[in-house]
Chains A and B, each alone.
Chain A
Amino acid sequence: MTQGTEITYREAVRESIREALLGDERVFLLGEDVGRYGGCYAVTKGLLQEFGPERIRDTPLSESGFMGAGVGAALGGMRPIVEIMTVNFSLLALDQIVNNAATIRHMSGGQFSVPLVIRMATGAGRQLAAQHSHSFECWYAHVPGLKVLVPGTIEDARFMLGMALLDPDPVIIFEHVMLYNETGILPNEAQPVPMEQAVVRRPGKDVSLITYGGSLGKVLSAASQLAGEGIEAEVLDLRCLRPLDTAAIVQTVARTHRAVVVDEGWRTGSLAGEISAIIMEQAFWQLDAPVARVCSKEVPIPYPHHLEQAALPQIPQILATVRQVLEHA
């Protein structure tokens, strides 16, 4: 058994921010209620006391303004971490992210880089209804110039931020709201996997389950249930949605010849669609069955528990889809 410490995903993220603040004077955090309130999901609790209000900077409700300030500070030699409470509110900052952060390196002919890290919560499951529950990771993964990370494990929550801060370009980190309370063992001698690599979380030979972020847990549960039926599913955790680890996607399909993509985004125009296209383009002759997708229903996420759950990818659907994909001879 590996030696380690039991921590929550929330604590892992907090530790990664602490480490960054301790290790580099240029690093500072700005966002709404990150200081005095302690962070809307309590991720940054205690950091104000440790690092003071200059570096744990509470901002007014001005997403576009402080995101742009993050871009500017990055241009000006700092290493800002901008926290946006949830991806839904990031839409107010979309202009600064997409029109500025993502373009400046290329548009300036390579003169200026924007070493900015943006963190935000994403996803549904807490009955927060249609203005607090969506998954727009895919929108950001569409944009050249951005990198998009989706830590789905305690270890990634602990180490991805540090790697993102070493990157010279803007990186967005999505933390799924249902993961914050998850606990796990962080190995003492954890060896962080480079942030742009996908990782096989469970090997298998019958079907590849490709997923990321908040859906990883559901997919792993589905895979262990399938094992009980004698089906060996391989689980690929994408970890990085831009750039996508295309080689890893092709390799898993080459091993199993069948793929189901599980994605909390809406199906139309989804990452699941992009991954299916990659498989079609690069692994078509490996396939024994059409690629299948399990995505969210195409509705704004509703408030009541039963409807919210009905709107999201669930284990029974994953199981049913896998069985269907395996029926193809």
Chain B
Amino acid sequence: MNTAASDKPHINRDHLLPMLADMIRIRRFEEKCAELYTQEKIRGFLHLYIGEEAVAVGIARGLAPEDAVIATYREHGHALARGISMASVMAEMYGKVTGCSRGRGGSMHLFDEKHRFFGGNAIVAGGLPMAVGLALADKMRGLARVTTCFFGEGAVAEGEFHESMNLAALWQLPVLFVCENNLYAMGTALEISESEQHIYLKARSYGIDAHAVDGMNVVDVEAAARTACSAIREGQGPKFLECKTYRFRGHSMFDTQLYRDKEEIERWQKHGPIVLLQEWMQANHMLLENDVAAIEHRVAAEVAEAVDFAESSALESETELDTDVYTPRRSQ
């Protein structure tokens, strides 16, 4: 495939407006989820991605439909950016049978076969070795597909991270590692958890081509993703992006955020991915007066429809509880 030239995103209104819309869409969806959580419609753990939308949206631009994605328990943004319908994600949050995992997984375990979305994984770093395996399968089968694996900087301390880096580099596998460095793993700040705080350098030490990217800038993330994915498809082995970002909300809805102060959050919010792009487009005369209002209007309607769908969907019957512990065998 011919990379560089054709993969260069165009910095114009037509290109940027849909990315702005995608980020707003994720943001509004999650704000609704937070509201529904306080109403106890959504239960369990709810981890919001608010503040980090540019990463999922930018990376998704580098992926083709046949590529695979593995994400964490903070994966609503990735699922939506990947194209999984908002209604089926919302129904999953409600635990309804129409949810993308039949309601069995909830917020942390979104799955979708059609989009090759291999889950929200709630074991930190648990997705990395599986991503290596998906990429290994593609390589062995001669398929020029990319497996993308999202994880937080907290995962980098786990042995599975290091084992996965080594295997991917050793076997030159077609995998894109995306570290979402939001500076905190629950209440544990990066500086008290890592002796080397430049995460991308760790990947480099395994011989993986790795770079740090401004994860608040969707244009930068997109450009990095396109370059990395093209190279992977050409057989250049694994790539690694450390996207520097920040989560604006608590770790989960239980978090009282004793470990950071309001000013720090406010400082980051000023440079959030949505305001950043919106202001830049405005300054460069790429936004028409009604653009944002139109996006908001569209998104509000989609969110409302998703909630209606989830509300009106059925729960899975208790008699189905033990289905799919094993794969059904067709009788001969």
Contact = CB atoms under 8 A, between A and B. Distances in A.
Interface string B285-298: 00000000000000
B185 A310 contact: no
Interface residue tally on A, bucketed by range: 35 or more
Contacts of A38: 187, 256, 258
Interface in B297-332: 315-316, 318, 321-322, 325
B188 A32 contact: yes
Contact of B43 (A64, A92, A305): A305
Interface string A291-309: 0000001111011111100
B121 interface: yes
Contact of A61 (B96, B122, B157, B255): B157
Interface residues of B, number: 41
Interface string A123-146: 000111111100000000000000
| Chain B contact surface mostly | loop
B154 A61 contact: yes
B188 A307 contact: no
Contacts of A306: 315, 318
B203 interface: no
B106 interface: yes
Given A32-B188, A302-B103, A303-B106, 15 more contacts: A32-B185, A32-B186, A36-B192, A60-B157, A61-B185, A88-B123, A92-B123, A130-B105, A130-B109, A297-B321, A299-B325, A303-B43, A303-B44, A303-B105, A303-B109
Instruction: Please provide the 7 A-B residue pairs with the shortest distance between their CB atoms, ordered closest to farther.
Output: A37-B187, A304-B95, A303-B106, A60-B157, A127-B44, A60-B193, A36-B259
21 contacts: A40-B186, A58-B188, A60-B193, A62-B157, A62-B159, A89-B123, A89-B124, A92-B123, A92-B159, A129-B109, A132-B45, A132-B122, A297-B321, A302-B105, A303-B105, A304-B103, A304-B315, A306-B318, A307-B104, A307-B315, A310-B321
Interface of A: 32-33, 35-38, 40, 58-65, 88-89, 92, 126-132, 297-300, 302-307, 310-311
